[in-house]
């Protein structure tokens, strides 16, 4: 982001520079100037001055009974962090968290790390004990800068109140620019109570960071780069785009789709990249990787030119890097982060810079030169892969198969709903069987794999996109982690649809235990638990709360559930033995992919391999 791109916006509240304000009021004025329209947080002693400032600001600027910056109170601070993440993922704008010191701040560690791992911009404002008490183990003190320092993109401790305003403004700059991420601002209570002149502009001097951004900005996909790219594409007969979440973060989905559709290049996406390419299009091969579609993984095996865009060759995609895309004569890598180039897989040609501009330049060059690739045979092969190795499951079972539930949901939503998930089998089934016609419709915890993410993320997404149908596809184990947020849904009368695929346990763990640990279900079987999710939803005010336990009722109940007015909850009792396939074990290549009993496998004779104790889950 260049200097001109980060210059201060007009102050939305109209507060005049030079007016004397408390530090807390300055914080709120900066939030207003940054366009913040929702705050997620939980109050406490060390942040009370700022909570009071939010209250007064909303009272003063309310219009038509509507607050300009409503404060959304969750069941706990972790919920607030994931709500902010869901808001950011659905809107593309930074989410904001406002919490107190000590446990308020430490409860945000997991959401902060989750956002860092998935490059999600949030700003976390934490109260802290007064400056003079820092380091004395005062009541509800925690060393936030130390704890958060390795989890966040950046952490500030404000000890000079004169720098408070500039610090908060700089936090937003860092969160949204470059590779997005979470920024934490730790603000002692006396700094919030301090009074001084409001400037209405200004940022901290962070020359190293801005120089790195300017270096990225200075990189452009010039004519030479475009020519080299299309020379490689002209030599290829089986090109494949491998798109990651970076495409969505860069707002480059339109350029990616234009590159693919204009020049006939098929696309596979990562878990985080779902929606970068309209999954209903013929050239879309949906998700690759550990639980990706078999046809997507086979296309990776077959391609002769791999074009990685905003993707990082992580272990869930390239568990065996040397065997990943084994027939690719060249690997091309485009990313904004230079550290990703060559980190896992050597790139024969790369570009570091802004993806949207680079993709637009490539499309313009290809159109100008009237490029035509010889890909007809490859298109036929890709079509055959999608037909022969299509997703499938036990359609004759008398039990409810989760795949059937999600297929039915997808036929109704047609890829236009926002879908959030927890983490586990339900997450993978949703990724496999749901379509996403646009970016920012798929919200899931990718790199961290944080259970409990789905429900609070859906809440944040609904605030960001009140016009959209928002569905939380969750698991019985995952939703337990933040079950208290059911009450948050009804408190704010959010029309979120919460669906639990209930297999009475930690389904993904159980699947691994059956495959690799001889069926010893150590700590994962929850069939003796007493939770009645329907009663819990009713207790929290859900007017629609039902259990679905008969296969023949799936189409009718799904229509009823999705069309219900206001919040709706559905507990779906699924086959407890249902597994997620395909599956590529840790450290294995796509030749060793397990496809299960209902998806053909073109490589015969490969059996599951029991991992060593050091293998990753």
Indicate which residues carry an active-site annotation: 77, 139-140, 189, 508
DSSP string, 425-481: HHHHHHHHH---SSTT-EE---SS--TT-HHHHHHHHHHH-TTS-EEEEEEHHHHHT
The Cα 614–Cα 617 span in angstroms is: 9
DSSP string, 348-402: SEEEES-HHHHHHHHHHHHHHTT-----HHHHHHHHHHHHHT-----TT-SSPPH
Q: Which two tokens stand for residue 458?
A: 């859906």
CB 489 within 8 A of CB 459: yes
State how far the alpha carbon of 296 is from the alpha carbons of 291, 384, 388, 392, 448, in Å. 10, 12, 12, 14, 23
Nearest Cα to Cα of residue 487 among 562, 535, 539, 451? 539
Q: What is the dihedral of CA 176, 177, 181, 186, to 10 degrees?
A: -70
- 204: which residues sit within 8 A by CB, 6+ positions away? 163, 166, 167, 170
Crossing angle for the helix pair 402-413 and 425-433, nearest 10 degrees? Answer: 40
Q: Which two tokens stand for residue 348?
A: 């024969």
Q: Is residue 67 classed as helix, strand or coil in its secondary structure?
A: coil
The H-or-E segment that residue 156 falls in is strand 154-157
Residue where the block lists tokens 């690759």: 288
The Cα 170–Cα 6 span in angstroms is: 9
The Cα 191–Cα 158 span in angstroms is: 8
The Cα 424–Cα 405 span in angstroms is: 16
Nearest Cα to Cα of residue 522 among 512, 535, 534? 512
The Cα 133–Cα 458 span in angstroms is: 38
């Amino acid at each position: 982001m260049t200097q001109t791109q980060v210059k201060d916006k007009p102050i939305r509240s109209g507060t005049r520079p030079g007016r004397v304000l408390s530090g807390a009021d300055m914080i709120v004025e900066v939030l207003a100037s940054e366009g913040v329209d929702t705050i997620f947080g939980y109050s406490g002693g060390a942040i009370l001055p700022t909570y009071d400032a939010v209250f007064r600001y909303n009272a003063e600027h309310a219009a038509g009974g509507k607050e300009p910056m409503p404060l959304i109170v969750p069941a706990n601070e972790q919920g607030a962090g994931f709500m902010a993440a869901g808001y950011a993922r659905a809107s593309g704008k930074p989410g904001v968290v406002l919490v107190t010191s000590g446990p308020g701040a430490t409860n945000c560690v997991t959401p902060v790390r989750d956002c860092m791992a998935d490059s999600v911009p949030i700003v976390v404002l934490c109260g802290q004990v007064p400056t003079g008490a820092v380091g004395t183990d005062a009541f509800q003190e925690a060393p936030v800068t130390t704890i958060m320092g390795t989890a966040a993109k950046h952490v500030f401790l404000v000890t000079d109140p004169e720098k408070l305003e500039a610090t908060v403004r700089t936090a937003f700059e860092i969160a949204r620019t470059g590779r997005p991420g979470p920024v934490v601002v730790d603000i002692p209570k006396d700094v919030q109570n301090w009074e001084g002149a409001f400037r209405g502009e200004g940022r901290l001097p962070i020359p190293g960071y801005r120089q790195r951004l300017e270096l990225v900005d200075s990189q452009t996909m010039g004519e030479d780069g475009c020519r080299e790219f299309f020379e490689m594409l002209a030599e290829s007969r089986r090109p494949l785009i491998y798109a990651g979440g970076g495409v969505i973060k860069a707002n480059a989905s339109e350029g990616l789709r234009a590159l693919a559709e204009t020049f006939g290049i098929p696309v596979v996406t990562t878990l985080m990249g779902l929606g970068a390419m309209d999954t209903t299009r013929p050239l879309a091969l949906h998700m690759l990787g550990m639980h990706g579609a078999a046809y997507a993984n086979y296309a990776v095996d077959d391609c002769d030119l791999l074009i990685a865009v905003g993707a990082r060759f992580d272990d869930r995609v390239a568990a065996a890097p040397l065997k990943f895309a084994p027939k690719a004569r060249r690997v091309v890598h485009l990313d904004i982060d230079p550290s990703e180039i060559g980190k896992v897989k050597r790139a024969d040609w790369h570009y570091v810079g802004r993806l949207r501009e680079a993709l637009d330049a490539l499309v313009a060059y290809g159109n100008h030169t009237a490029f035509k690739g010889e890909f007809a045979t490859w298109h036929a092969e890709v079509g055959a892969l999608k037909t022969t190795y299509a997703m499938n499951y036990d359609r004759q079972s008398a039990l409810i198969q989760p795949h059937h539930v999600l297929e039915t949901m997808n036929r109704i939503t047609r890829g236009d709903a926002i879908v959030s998930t927890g983490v586990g089998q339900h997450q993978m089934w949703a990724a496999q069987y749901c379509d996403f016609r646009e970016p920012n419709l798929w919200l899931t915890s990718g790199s961290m794999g944080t259970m409990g993410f789905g429900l609070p993320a859906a809440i944040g997404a609904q605030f960001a996109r009140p016009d959209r149908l928002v569905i939380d596809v969750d698991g019985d184990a995952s939703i337990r982690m933040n079950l208290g947020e059911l009450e948050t849904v009804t408190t704010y009368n959010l029309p979120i649809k919460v669906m639990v695929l209930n297999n009475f346990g930690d389904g993904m763990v159980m699947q691994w235990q059956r495959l690799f640990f001889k069926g010893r279900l150590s700590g994962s079987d929850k069939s003796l638990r007493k939770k009645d999710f329907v009663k819990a939803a009713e207790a929290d005010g859900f007017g629609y709360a039902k259990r679905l336990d008969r296969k023949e009722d799936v189409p009718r109940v799904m229509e009823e559930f999705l069309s219900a007015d206001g919040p709706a909850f559905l507990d779906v009792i699924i086959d407890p033995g249902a597994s997620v396939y395909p599956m590529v074990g840790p450290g294995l290549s796509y030749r060793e992919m397990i496809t299960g009993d209902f998806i053909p496998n073109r490589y015969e004779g490969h059996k599951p391999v029991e991992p060593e104790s050091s293998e990753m889950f």
